Amino acid sequence: MSKKIVLSGARPTGEIHLGNYFGALHNWVKLQDDYDCHFFIADWHAMTTGYEDTSQLGDYVTSLMADFIACGLDPEKATIFLQSEVMEHAELFLLFAMNTPLSWLERCPTYKDQLNQLKEKDITTYGFLGYPCLQAADILIYNADFVPVGEDQLPHLELTREIARRFNHLYQPIFSEPQPLLTETKVLPGTDGRKMSKSYGNTISFADTPEVVAKKVMSMLTDPARIRKDDPGHPEVCSVFSFHKVFSAFEIEHIETQCRRGEIGCVACKRKLQKRLLAFHQPIHEKRTELLQDKAGLRQVLRQGSEKAGLKAKATLKAAKRAMRIDY
Ligand code: TRP
Ligand code: SF4
């Protein structure tokens, strides 16, 4: 039996941080063995909100590829590629753009949300409005069965299914409707307790050196009600504790009890985390640093992935044009 097809993408917007890793990437790594996986760097998507300054995009593409591989994605197992190196995405996007009603795009909840949130940028552009159409092309061009995405992307996936249905109805049924793959994710807050995000400056990334990581751990926000180290603590409000849930799962009850009874001080508790976090972080950091010594090599591997993806994309595009009777 052939493996089911999985596809997902990530925007090259800078270094991968632990929030990205535990939110998505570590699941991608797990999926590689059981599915025919396609993972891509969505550089055109990055331009839908970051069109003004594109000067760093190339570097971000290369460093994301380094992060991918350092975190365990394997180009021998999964097809890892760059969106803009598979031109067929653009052509299918154009064809979808012809028959996607404007109202579908305008009513997309993430569209309205982002317009409100990204006030400092002018994203009242055609590209930003049409981005779910591009995403539909990304997914349908590989006939993906499953798309591992976060909750925030569910409306886009629903739109993808609607676009597939509309195409199948207007022309011929060639697209299958992809399903979301809601994998278990571990939520790591930022060092200040808010959501980990580059814009809050509260991330721990694989580009950070072990020294920087060690410092960031020591400066993490803990229970503000604890003044002396034998004060009873409230782990539920402490970001160090959220990290322990991921890195010290085997003794989490012990840490919780010690904290509540005031039997462990925050400094000692952070030291414990430091050790475990670094044991996880350091090998990935080193691998990434080593990979980035040979940027041309990384880009070469990415290009090979794009060529492989291109074969499939070409075949689907051809079928779509035949279904539309525009294969003249
Ligand atoms: N929109 C996704 C994001 O912003 C990236 C993305 C683009 C994607 N195309 C995709 C994800 C296709 C899954 C499938 O993170
Ligand atoms: Fe947080 Fe640990 Fe301090 Fe408790 S002891 S508040 S879990 S850092």
Regarding whether 227 and 170 lie in a shared domain, the answer is: no
Regarding whether 56 and 15 lie in a shared domain, the answer is: yes
Q: What is the pTM of this model?
A: 0.92
Regarding whether 180 and 74 lie in a shared domain, the answer is: yes
Total domain count, the chain:
2
Q: Does 159 reside within a domain?
A: yes
Nearest to 284 by CA among 97, 69, 110: 69
Q: Does 149 reside within a domain?
A: yes
Question: What is the Cα–Cα distance from 323 to 315, expressed in whole angstroms?
Answer: 12
User: What's the length of the chain?
Assistant: 328
Regarding whether 315 and 260 lie in a shared domain, the answer is: no
Regarding whether 267 and 153 lie in a shared domain, the answer is: no
Regarding whether 151 and 20 lie in a shared domain, the answer is: yes
pLDDT of residue 183: 76
147, burial (CB in 10 Å: exposed 0-12, middle 13-18, buried 19+): buried
Classify residue 154 as left (phi > 0), alpha (psi -120 to 50) or beta.
alpha
How far, in Å, is the centroid of ligand 1 from the Cα of 147?
9
Cα dihedral 152, 16, 196, 114 sign: negative
Regarding whether 303 and 281 lie in a shared domain, the answer is: no
Nearest to 268 by CA among 195, 319, 217: 217
Q: Tell which atom from ligand 1 comes closest to the C-alpha of 156.
A: 1
Which residues span the domain enclosing 43? Answer: 5-188+295-323
CB atoms near residue 259 (< 10 Å): 25
Which whole-number Å values give the CA distances from 190 to 17, 239, 280, in the listed order? 10, 7, 17
CATH of the domain at 148: 3.40.50.620
Enumerate residue ranges in the chain where pLDDT < 70.
1, 119
Q: Which ligand places an atom closest to the C-alpha of 222? A: 2
Q: Does 99 reside within a domain?
A: yes
Pocket test for ligand 1, best of 81, 108, 117, 135 (most atoms within 8 A of CB): 135
Helices (H), 198-294: 210-218, 239-247, 252-260, 266-291
Regarding whether 300 and 152 lie in a shared domain, the answer is: yes
CATH of the domain at 257: 1.10.240.10
Regarding whether 246 and 276 lie in a shared domain, the answer is: yes
Question: What is the Cα–Cα distance from 187 to 246, expressed in whole angstroms?
Answer: 9
Q: 71 by DSSP, 3-state: which?
A: coil
Among 4, 77, 186, 198, the one annotated catalytic: 198
* 85 phi/psi in degrees, rounded to 5: -90, 0
| Token pair belonging to 230 | 């034998």
Regarding whether 78 and 164 lie in a shared domain, the answer is: yes
Q: Does 202 reside within a domain?
A: no
Active-site annotation holds for 77: no
pLDDT of residue 124: 80
Pocket lining: 88 vs ligand 1, CB cutoff 6 Å:
no
Question: What is the Cα–Cα distance from 205 to 20, expressed in whole angstroms?
Answer: 9
Active-site annotation holds for 198: yes
pLDDT of residue 15: 87
Q: Does 229 reside within a domain?
A: yes
pLDDT of residue 292: 97
Active-site annotation holds for 3: no
Regarding whether 127 and 215 lie in a shared domain, the answer is: no
Pocket lining: 13 vs ligand 1, CB cutoff 6 Å:
no
Q: Does 193 reside within a domain?
A: no
pLDDT of residue 211: 96
Q: Does 199 reside within a domain?
A: no
Check if the beta carbon of residue 46 is closer than 8 Å to that of residue 11.
yes
Regarding whether 235 and 106 lie in a shared domain, the answer is: no
How far, in Å, is the centroid of ligand 1 from the Cα of 300?
23
Q: Does 309 reside within a domain?
A: yes
